[in-house]
Structure formats: structure tokens, C-alpha cells
Amino acid sequence: MIDLQIPSVHKNVGESAANYIETLTKPSGSLGRLEQIAIDLAKMTGNEFPNITPPGILVFAADHGIVNEGVSAYPQDVTKQMVTNMVDGGAAINVFGRQIGAEFRIVDIGVVTDVSEKEVINRKIRQSTGNFAVELAMTKEEVEKAVQIGFEEATLFMESGVKCLIIGEVGIGNTTASSAVLAAITGADPASIVGFGTGISKEQHENKIAVVQKAIAFHQPNSKDAIDILSKVGGLEMAAMVGAMIAAAQKQTPILLDGFISTVSACVAKLLAPGVENYMTLSHQSAEPGHLVAIQHLQIEPLLNLNMRLGEGTGAAVAYPILLSAVNMIKEMATFASANVAEKT
């Protein structure tokens, strides 16, 4: 298992950033939350003038046996097809990634079919998880392997120069796995978490709630044991995302969370490695109802609410320029003294 120790954030650097922001040529507090974002990034990176460029988008792809229960609006084949689409640059995450000058990598951690594209990093652990309505999603060893792989791939990505990590996913059925994981962690009724995912019908939604309720009753996951929860009702890409988040936090690299799957994985990461959450910023609030439950659990404030519900890392890529604005503010604005502007009377 990977090292789970998370370094403390640099509180003193945050304090100097806050003091320095007070000297910039603007009324105190007038850049609102951008000011706190700059302070938070300074605390994470240990640099009063943080560098978050280039951002890196790391997508983990995997399939889910739970799709046999009729929980998604799309066929399982779409996972592999979207991996190909991402390699070809046509997915939403490619578009938004290009627009922010992001580096992009995609890892196959458990797609059910063979992925032959050489651009896809092949770290397949198994072909899809098991159907957790009737069996374990995966063994505890497989969970630990996926966490380890996520950790390794994120580490390599950061070593290549990435300064802010966006961790995305693709995997048909993963809103069901995320709902079950969140129900296991929070104890909340799946009925208050389960949403419409890719756009299922009302009948399918009722079935999806029942599937998650039954799975929780069947497996009785231990709410305090991240590995137990992932093994019983999780996903391979979720476990890899957890490992990637821990790697970023250990390198004191800011993590920009995306939507439902990303935030649920962040809740798991916090359970496994407390302190990891201090390196996270939440990009947006997804339309998936369970996202609010995860947000409240993590006690983190989303930057945007655009009614998005796609995943892939898209919300994070769209929100990244907000982080960049905060950083450029503290790096480039003149001070009252340097610009010879009169201070408040």
C-alpha cells in the first residue's frame, strides 16, 4: 500500500499571501473569493506567488458490472468508444482542456474490452468490476492495486511538469457505483443520493435507487474503511482517482475536483488519507443530486453551478481560469506603493 501521510499546508505562507493581497491596488476584499483562492493555493504550494501552469488532466477509464442491472441510459460499449474519442480529441474534456493549455493523459484501469490505442496508458487491472448487486465489485487487493496505479500515474504526470491536477473519469455505470460509495460513507438513504446519470427514465431511476439500497444491505460496507467500501461497491477508476489525489497532496500540488464521481472519490481519499482535502478546490456543483451530499460531507464550496452533469473532468477544466485569475492577481497586480495610488483614508 502507498504511503498515506499528507503534509500540512503552509499556514504561514497563506498568512503572508493574505497580508500581501491587502497591499494590492483595489479596495480590501473587492476580488471576493478570488482572494481566498489565492491564499489557499499559496498555502498548498508553499509559494506566496503560486504556479499552477500547466494544468494536467488525468482521466481514468473503467467499466462497471452493475450495468447488468439496467442502471445507465447508455450501453457499456460507450466507455471504450469514449476512450477512443478522447484519444482523437473530440470529447468535451479535450475541447475544454485545449482551451486552458492542459496536458492530457488517459489511463485504462479496467475497460471491459481491449483498448489498442497506443496513446492510452494500459494499466488494466481487470475487465470491468463485478456486478455488486450480487458479488464484490473487486477484491481488496485489486482496490489497493488501483490506488497504487492512480498514485503512480499522477506522480509521473507531476514529474513531467504538471502544476495543477484535474482528475477525470469515464465509465458507464459509475454514477451508480459513486452513489453506493457515498451512501456507504455518509449513511444517507440512497434515495437522497441517486440521480439520473446519463439520463435514465423515471422507472429506471426507481430501479437504480433499489439496486443501491439492496447492495448496501447485502454488503454492509464499513463506513470507516475506504478499501472495504471500494471493494464492495466501488469502481476501479474511483480507486485510481483516490490514489492520484493522495499523490498530488503529497507533492503539495493543487487538485481541482470535478463533479459527482470526482467528489465522491475525494470523500474516499479523505477517509483513507485525512488531510488530502486541504489540497482540493471544488470546481462546480453538478446537477446530480448526490453531489450536494458529497459537497456537504467534504465541507467544500463549489466555484460554479452551471447545471453540468458530464464528468470527464469537464467542470474542472471550465473552472480552471478562475484559479488562474486568482494566481495572476497576486502575481501581477501593482501595490498601492509601487503604483503610487492613495490608500483608504
Ligand X SMILES: Cc1cc2ncn([C@H]3O[C@H](COP(=O)(O)O)[C@@H](O)[C@H]3O)c2cc1C
Ligand Y SMILES: O=C(O)c1cccnc1
The residues assigned a catalytic role are 312
* Site stretch for ligand Y (CB under 6 A), options 83-91, 116-124, 218-226, 257-265: 257-265
Nearest to 143 by CA among 213, 78, 233: 233
Q: Which of 171, 190, 221, 243 binds ligand X (CB under 6 A)?
A: 171
**By C-beta, is 310 or 329 nearer to ligand Y?**
310
In angstroms, what is the minimal distance from the CB of 287 to ligand X? 12
In angstroms, what is the minimal distance from the CB of 179 to ligand X? 9
DSSP characters for 134-162? Answer: TS-SS-HHHHHHHHHHHHHHHHHHHHTT-
Q: Which of 259, 276, 298, 327 binds ligand Y (CB under 6 A)?
A: 259
- Residue 124, Cβ neighbours under 10 Å: how many? 20
**By C-beta, is 45 or 174 nearer to ligand X?**
174
- 287 counts as binding ligand X under rule CB under 6 A: no
- 175 counts as binding ligand Y under rule CB under 6 A: yes
Give the count of alpha carbons within 13 A of 256, CB side only: 33
Give the count of alpha carbons within 13 A of 66, CB side only: 33
Nearest to 51 by CA among 163, 167, 157: 163
In angstroms, what is the minimal distance from the CB of 310 to ligand X? 5
User: How distant, in Å, are the alpha carbons of 79, 207, 280, 297, 305 from that of 319?
Assistant: 25, 34, 13, 21, 10
Binding track, positions 302-321, relative to ligand Y; x by CB under 6 A:
-------xxx----------
Q: Which residues in 48-87 contact ligand X (CB under 6 A)?
A: 72-74, 78, 82
DSSP characters for 94-135? Answer: HHHHHHTT-EEEEEEEE-SS----TTEEE---SSS---TTTS
**By C-beta, is 43 or 291 nearer to ligand Y?**
291
For the record, the C-alpha cell of 97 comes out as 482542456
- The sign of the dihedral angle between the CA atoms of 59, 60, 62, 64 is negative
- 179 counts as binding ligand X under rule CB under 6 A: no
- 283 counts as binding ligand Y under rule CB under 6 A: no
- 163 counts as binding ligand Y under rule CB under 6 A: no
Q: Give Cα 207 to chain centroid, integer Å.
A: 27
- 289 counts as binding ligand X under rule CB under 6 A: no
Q: Which of 212, 279, 312, 319 binds ligand X (CB under 6 A)?
A: 312
For the record, the C-alpha cell of 225 comes out as 474503511
Q: Name the site residues for ligand Y (rule: CB under 6 A).
A: 175, 197-198, 258-261, 286, 288, 291, 309-311
Binding residues for ligand X, rule: CB under 6 A, are: 72-74, 78, 82, 169-176, 197-198, 310-312
